[in-house]
Structure 1
Amino acid sequence: MTGTIQARISRRSFGKSLVAAGLGYAAVPARAEPSQKQPIMIDTHSHVFHRGLQLADSRRYAPGYDAPLDLYLQQLDDNGISNGVLVQPSFLGTDNSYLVQCVLAARGRLRGIAVVDPNVTSDDLNRLNDSGIVGLRLNLVGKPLPDLASPAWGGLLERAEKLQWQIEVQRAAIDLAALAPALLAFGVNVVLDHYALPNAGTGAADPGLVALTKLGQSRRLWVKVSAPYRIGEDGNRIGREAFALLRGSLGRDRLIWGSDWPHTQFESTQTYARALAAFAEIVGDPDDRMAILQNPRGLFRFD
């Protein structure tokens, strides 16, 4: 984010705009439960962080503002979403301590997706599991593809399968066409971010996306109907076409929604309310939308 974007996201009006406020980092709140009983509806992709956290040396980007837990919970409350999933931001590397702190503070309302080194110990994975972490993230944008045949990666994926963890991947569809089957071979559920990121030029005709649709029979491939703006300027149109393709091939029950809050690198144009509006535009049928919001219950252990 450039220096012209505001340094702090306002709790009151984040869903409408960014405001200039120079407030300090808000501590993790005690409040976590929804204010009233409501149907289960799950936001499967969001991030929390603040500027006091240690950044990864190899980061491509780091935001110049705070997006702490209390502001995220406010987004859920304001938009009628009962539960959320916190995904470890790439710029925080493998230090999942703030992620875990926030998941625990939410007292069951949230789950987490961690980033770990492939040589992480089984004890560390078990501790993450006990804290509400339900999967691993591979944000491979701008990075080499992992060597899944190596002992380190193979061992990590085998341990993830034993924990019944999912593997979440962010990468262009053309590369996922080969990577997703290799991951599925380990017996894990695989979740692809942001419509599997088809090429903006070819859209739903992207050969990588078309290849992914052939993996539906595994019943272990899931795709997030999320953040169409990360595809390109015509993201909503591509999202509609990709949704139709994915719904017909993977099945409606293998599609899930994520807000992508706080929309890192797109903060000046995106809000939580806009994310929901784009979801409604892309997925026109209300029954489809409700199903997609409820599909993740078992996958993220909200049952």
Structure 2
Amino acid sequence: MHMLSPKTPGWLDWYQDPSSPELRLPAGTVDTHCHVFGPQAEFGFAPERKYTPCDGGKDDLFALRDHLGIARNVIVQATCHGADNSAMVDAVRAAGGRARGIATVRPDIGEAELRELDAAGVRGVRFNFVRRLVDASPKEALRTIARKIAPLGWHIVLYFESADLPELADFFGSLPAPLVVDHMGRPDVTQPVDGPEFGGFLRFVERHDVWVKVTCPERLSVTGPAALDGERHAYTDVVPFGRRVVEEFPDRVLWGTDWPHPNLTDHMPDDGLLVDHVRHVAVTEDQRRRLLVANPMRLYWPGDDA
């Protein structure tokens, strides 16, 4: 039994009663970006964490999966758990083959531990460069990790702020593993979609064959979740950015919910509404099939056509 810590003041809990989306997700849809928080009594949080969240364990995640019509999950290690991947691995194992994991590891990790994670269903590591969430991301340490995971065929998930990409792009491009970028590189959606900042991101993606998660409109939006004319059309200022990525890189885009939505301060999104957002960025059935099924299956379950 762990000593329980109170939630961070002002912490927004995940939406307990998500709506049913109008969009019928294609069979086999994969949520490639979600997390588990504890439960804290079973899986304690890291002493060095920047926040203490509410509980959001595997049972809650799987209930949301089934409610939304999602088939599989990719569970990304939450920063509140540091490099202790126990909660994430437990959730992946409990999914019975319907989940994969993305771990956080330290440079001194050994081959035996990496192979144990691989056997459990882990397929990548996450490198976090968002300064408010981590104290530092030393490049040489991350390079060491990249060299260790490369023989396993894992990939590297990158989380960064768009303004920091110019100084990080050469380092990212030098890493010896495939790259997956969270949340479209967190663009400033008040800038033009065809402007220099987002254009630079698109050139980076093209140059390095990067995969892109078209995720988290609720984090990027300035206009917010307000619907237009009573329709389920929210986060409209993010739509042009997501649509551009889907159109330019149809075979390297991924989607996810980001449940249970850590560190939001403005509002907590309705996950049913986030599903309906997909139809505005992937406007054809073929685009949605690639985004939601074909691409994530190729990356996380290669050779599995189920």
For normalisation by structure 1, the TM-score amounts to 0.81
Any conservation in 2 of the 1:177–1:209 contact (CA below 8 Å)?
Answer: no
User: Could you tell me how far apart the structure 2 residues matched to 1:300 and 1:233 are?
Assistant: 32
**Unpaired segments ≥5 residues, structure 1:** 18-37
Any conservation in 2 of the 1:189–1:221 contact (CA below 8 Å)?
Answer: yes
**Unpaired segments ≥5 residues, structure 2:** 1-6, 21-25, 225-234
CA-to-aligned-CA distance 1:15-34 (integer Å, 9 cap, x gap):
249xxxxxxxxxxxxxxxxx
User: Could you tell me how far apart the structure 1 residues matched to 2:205 and 2:8 are?
Assistant: 41
User: What is the one-letter code of the residue matched to 2:130?
Assistant: V
Q: Does 2:171 match 1:194?
A: no
Change (3 A) 1:266 1:16: farther
Q: Name the structure, 1 or 2, with higher relative contact order (CA <8 Å, separation 6+).
A: 2
| Percentage identity across paired residues of the two chains | 28
Change (3 A) 1:80 1:299: same
Aligned counterpart, 2:79: 90
Query: Which of 6, 28, 37 lines up with 1:40 in the alignment?
Result: 28
Aligned counterpart, 1:27: none
Q: Does 2:45 match 1:55?
A: yes
Matches within 5 A, 1:277-296: 277-294=276-293, 295-296=295-296
Q: Does 2:149 match 1:146?
A: no
User: Secondary structure of 2:108's match?
Assistant: coil
User: Secondary structure of 2:125's match?
Assistant: strand
For normalisation by structure 2, the TM-score amounts to 0.80
CA-to-aligned-CA distance 1:17-64 (integer Å, 9 cap, x gap):
9xxxxxxxxxxxxxxxxxxxx82210001111222232223322221x
User: What is the one-letter code of the residue matched to 1:300?
Assistant: Y
User: Secondary structure of 2:83's match?
Assistant: coil
Change (3 A) 1:120 1:71: same
User: What is the one-letter code of the residue matched to 1:182?
Assistant: F
Aligned counterpart, 2:106: 117
Change (3 A) 1:212 1:59: same
User: Could you tell me how far apart the structure 2 residues matched to 1:270 and 1:40 are?
Assistant: 23
Aligned counterpart, 2:254: 256
Aligned counterpart, 1:159: 148
User: Could you tell me how far apart the structure 1 residues matched to 2:11 and 2:108 are?
Assistant: 38
Aligned counterpart, 1:210: 199
User: Could you tell me how far apart the structure 1 residues matched to 2:102 and 2:17 are?
Assistant: 24
Q: RMSD between aligned alpha carbons?
A: 2.7
User: What is the one-letter code of the residue matched to 2:275?
Assistant: L
User: Secondary structure of 1:287's match?
Assistant: helix
CA-to-aligned-CA distance 1:141-170 (integer Å, 9 cap, x gap):
11466343x2x3322111222111111111
